[in-house]
Amino acid sequence: MEARSPADWMYRFLLFPLGQMLAFIAGSAFILTLLAYGIALLFPEPRPNIVLADQIGRQLPGMVISGITTGFVYAMIALGYTMVYGVLKFINFAHSELFMVGSVVGFEVFLVFSAQAMLLTWHPVLLVAIAVLSAGLVSGLLAVTMERVAYRPLRGAPRLVPLISAIGVSFFMVDFVRALMAITRNDFNLTYPLNGVDWARAPIPLLIGTTTVNLRPTQIIIIVGAVLMLLFLNYFVNGTKLGRGIRAVSQDMTTAGLMGINVNRIIALTFFVGGAFGGAAGALFGMNVGTVTPFVGFFPGLKAFIAAVLGGIGSVTGALLGGLTLGMIESFLNGVLVYFPVFGQRYTDIFAFAVLILILIFRPSGILGEKVDEKV
Amino acid sequence: MALLEISDLHTYYGQIHALKGITLTVGEGEIVTLVGANGAGKSTTLRTVSGIARPRTGSIRFAGRDITGMKPHDIAALGISHVPEGRRIFPLLTVQENIEIGAWNVADRKQIGKRMQEMFALFPRLRERVQQKGGTLSGGEQQMLAIARALMCDPKVLLLDEPSMGLAPVLVEGIFDIITRINQEQKTTILLVEQNALMALEVASRGYVLQSGKIVLADTAHALMHNEEVRRVYLGEN
């Protein structure tokens, strides 16, 4: 084993992944800005007295920031789909519920903080870290249980079978959490007790050029949290022995077993990591939107799945690229469509699914996906 | 007592009866070869020993211990290393990572480093390619990598499946030299499966001839090489 120099380490695990994120953000923001102005050329005044180009100019920084925020949430969920797909060639359709459980755990943790009057006395970074890590831990363990109970017995069955099992698990978890919340809280609209908490809710004005954008503190929390966790994941997958094991199992499970790797343990680990990221994303998301329900996983989960396919399912970098790109597309569409009559913001979902259909038709392996024939 | 004792092994692939009662032994320090035509059950025998294929009946004993039906990773941990047919290196891991994977159950990092240097001494080509992705290597280099990877855990028995497959004749010689060196220098016991029966019998001390899942001949490599039947059927002489 050759020793790596600290500079090399910095590059591989800090500068390169950070540069990658920046490139993905800047690239998609640039292309979408051009597209937005293209639309403005075609429809200069979608409504009387509304000049689209002016509106876009004013909205641009806000759209980019909200795109990054949504994009990181998608990326963190997409990682779970893509990692599990990498080792088992199987889409865990119950993954969205791990995100949901994470958001519910985050809520419970903040409730405790609130009851113990820690919300205003403890340092926000500590509070967020505890909430996010608890959510990640619970969702990770749940993912491992899920695999053990619902997927492992079906290993070797035709591909459709575990997929159906996953859908069953998904329904089960939604209703289980709903029942649990109905019994314990008599309500399943769970509102994070953050209203009036300045570090989470007081807008942060940010002056960009001549316009002021009001940032939500939770947006910054999402971005910082996601960047830290993604850096950790990159290190874990590419820089540790266990990560090497995950990659080996995903490339050739049988041969990995011959090398002495306990394949089932690596699969469980993959589920844990993927689940933990989904759960952590859930808690971050919950803090940002404020209210979550047992049904909250469905759309983000589906969108993240699209993101994973868009980036190239099976590829960790692809999940990041797909997540950020999709988040950005949605944010820009929201920003532009709102000025059109009839065709309002509510229709942005159409575009996310249109992306899925187009990708599946024209480039099923995704932007960064490996060619199918490269797999054994 | 033999290091590896296989008795009356029956393995099925679905409905196909691939091994129909294989009985063989491999003594400590030996090179034993299995020769035979395509589909005779040579690879299946190795796959059953390393736990990838499960036998329906019969037993496999390794160093006196029954390992029949154990999981592949547990068998590997006991010191049986299998170089599978087609090399099966990890295409997207670097050469170094591939080699490190071979030492999965070795905890001592110094030991791993030392072992890796030994592998580079055995296969200098791999040292030149250490940061290259496994999938970009040539067939011969991949075979070297597969053998190096299997040797990283310092196995007691090396199961080699068709190491000469798809290699240029000049490389085949080299691989067989290496097999002999591994056996002599590292004292590794080797069970070798080969279609190239002549080469295999030259390096082996004993051999078994397989035909449709059964052993039809067992003798010293020297005797097999001079056996009329073997020469006619497997060595392509008239």
Q: How far is B237 from chain A (nearest CA, A)?
A: 37
CB-CB under 8 Å, B50 with A258: yes
Q: Which of A267, A229, A260, A230 lies closest to A246 in space, CA to CA?
A: A267
* Burial label, A184 (beta-carbon count in 10 A; 0-12, 13-18, 19+): exposed
- What is the count of structural domains for chain A? 1
Report how far residue B142's alpha carbon sits from residue A300's, in angstroms, rounded to the nearest whole number: 43
Distance between CA atoms of residues B119 and B121, nearest Å = 5
Average of pLDDT values for A75-85?
A: 96
A263 and chain B in contact, CB less than 8 A: yes
**Using one digit for the tens of pLDDT, what is the confidence trace for A38-73?**
999 999 998 888 899 999 988 899 999 999 999 999
pLDDT band at A337 (very low <50, low <70, confident <90, very high): confident
Residue A27, pLDDT score: 96
Mean pLDDT of A79-89: 95
CA angle B180, B103, B162 (to 5 degrees): 40
pLDDT digit string, tens, across residues B103-154: 999 999 999 999 999 999 999 999 999 999 999 999 999 999 999 999 999 9
DSSP string, chain B: --SEEEEEEEEEETTEEEEEEEEEEE-TT-EEEEEESTTSSHHHHHHHHTTSS-EEEEEEEETTEE-TT--HHHHHHHTEEEE-TT----TTSBHHHHHHHHTTT---HHHHHHHHHHHHHH-HHHHHTTTSBGGGS-HHHHHHHHHHHHHTT--SEEEEE-TTTT--HHHHHHHHHHHHHHHHHS--EEEEEES-HHHHHHH-SEEEEEETTEEEEEEEHHHHHT-HHHHHHTS---
Confidence band for A213, pLDDT divided at 50, 70 and 90: confident
Question: Which tokens in the block code for residue A367?
Answer: 């932007």
Which domains are delineated in chain B? Answer: 4-86+157-233 (3.40.50.300)
Question: Rounded to an integer, what distance in angstroms lies between the CA atom of residue B82 and that of residue B64?
Answer: 19
Distance from CA of B138 to the nearest CA of A (A): 16
Q: Report the C-alpha gap between B3 and B149 in whole angstroms.
A: 22
Predicted pLDDT of residue A374: 40
Asked whether residue A221 is assigned to any structural domain, the reply reads yes
Is pLDDT above 70 for A3?
no
**Does residue B207 contact residue B35 with C-beta atoms inside 8 Å?**
yes
Quick one: residue A173, left, alpha or beta (phi over 0 = left, psi -120 to 50 = alpha)?
Answer: alpha
Per-residue pLDDT at A35 exceeds 80: yes
Q: Amino acid identity of B24?
A: L
B62 beta partners: B4, B65
A244 part of contact set with chain B, CB < 8 Å: yes
Residue B23's pLDDT band (boundaries 50, 70, 90)? Answer: very high
A281 Cβ neighbours under 8 A, 6+ residues apart: A73, A76, A77, A99, A102, A226, A300
How far is the C-alpha of A55 from the C-alpha of A29, rounded, in Å? 16
pLDDT tens digit sequence for A214-271: 899 999 999 999 999 999 999 999 999 999 999 999 999 999 999 999 999 999 999 9
- For residue A307, is it within any domain? yes
* Residue A120 in this model has a pLDDT that exceeds 50: yes
- Calculate helix-pair angle for B109-122, B139-151, nearest 10 degrees: 140
Distance CA(A291)–CA(A293), nearest Å, equals 7
Place of tokens 């709903």: A178
Residue A5 confidence (pLDDT): 86
Find the range with the poorest average confidence among A199-208, A260-269, B6-15, B205-214: A199-208
Q: How many CB atoms within 10 Å of residue B25? A: 17
Q: What residues make up the domain containing A50?
A: 7-374
Confidence of residue A1 (pLDDT cuts 50, 70, 90): very low
Of A69-78, A203-212, B49-58, which gets the smallest average pLDDT? A203-212
pLDDT at A373: 42
Instruction: Tell me the pairing of strands B16-26 and B31-36.
Output: unpaired
d(CA A237, CA A249) in angstroms, rounded, equals 12
**CB of A46 within 8 A of CB of A337?**
no
Classify residue A103: in a domain, yes or no: yes
CB–CB contact A254 B135 (8 Å): no
Distance CA A329, CA B76 (A): 49
Asked if A248 reaches chain B (Cβ–Cβ under 8 Å), the answer is yes
Chain B positions touching A257 (Cβ under 8 A) are: 51-52, 71-73, 76
Rounded Cα distance, A300 and A305, in Å = 8
Please answer yes or no on whether A257 and B135 come within 8 Å at the CB atom: no
pLDDT interval class at B166 (50, 70, 90): confident
pLDDT at residue A372, as a whole number: 47
pLDDT tens-digit series, residues A144-159: 999 999 999 999 899 8
Which of the residues A155, A237, A259, A372 would you substitute to probe the B interface, choosing the one with the greatest number of B C-beta atoms within 10 Å? Answer: A259
Contact B69, B55 (CB under 8 A): yes
Structure tokens at A277: 């990221």
Res. A211: pLDDT tops 90 = no
- Chain centroid to CA A247: how far? 21
Q: Which tops the pLDDT comparison, B217 or A341?
A: B217
- Residues in chain A within 8 Å Cβ distance of B52: 254, 257-258
| Chain B CA closest to residue A376 | B88
State yes or no: pLDDT of A368 exceeds 60.
yes
| Nearest beta carbon to residue A260 from set B84, B93, B104 | B104
ipTM of the complex: 0.93
Q: Is B42 exposed, middle or buried (0-12, 13-18, 19+ CB in 10 A)?
A: buried
Lowest mean pLDDT among A51-60, A175-184, B76-85, B177-186: A51-60
Angstrom CA distances, B95 to B42, B75, B99, B131, stand at: 28, 24, 6, 6
Chain B residue numbers with beta carbons less than 8 Å from the beta carbon of A269 are none
Q: What is the CATH number of the domain that holds A120?
A: 1.10.3470
| Average pLDDT score over residue span A330-344 | 84
Cα B216 to Cα A245, B31, B57: the distances in Å are 41, 19, 20
> B84 and A245 in contact by Cβ < 8 A?
no
pLDDT digits (tens, 9 = 90+) for A281-311: 999 999 999 999 999 999 999 999 999 999 9
Query: Least CA distance to B110: which residue of chain A?
Result: A1
Q: What's the length of chain B? A: 238
Residues of chain B above pLDDT 70, percent: 98
Q: Compute the Cα dihedral for A184, A185, A190, A192 and give only its sign.
A: negative
- The pLDDT of residue B145 is 97
Mean predicted confidence (pLDDT) in A11-37:
95
For position A15, what pLDDT does the model report? Answer: 95
pLDDT (0 to 100) of residue A345: 65
Select the residue of A247, A251, A257 nearest B73 (Cβ to Cβ).
Answer: A257
List the one residue out of B9, B2, B1 whose CA is nearest residue B60.
B9
- Whether A2 is in a domain gets the answer no
CB B110: neighbour CB atoms within 10 A?
Answer: 8
Closest CA to A24 of A277, A311, A226, A233: A311
In a domain, A1, yes or no: no
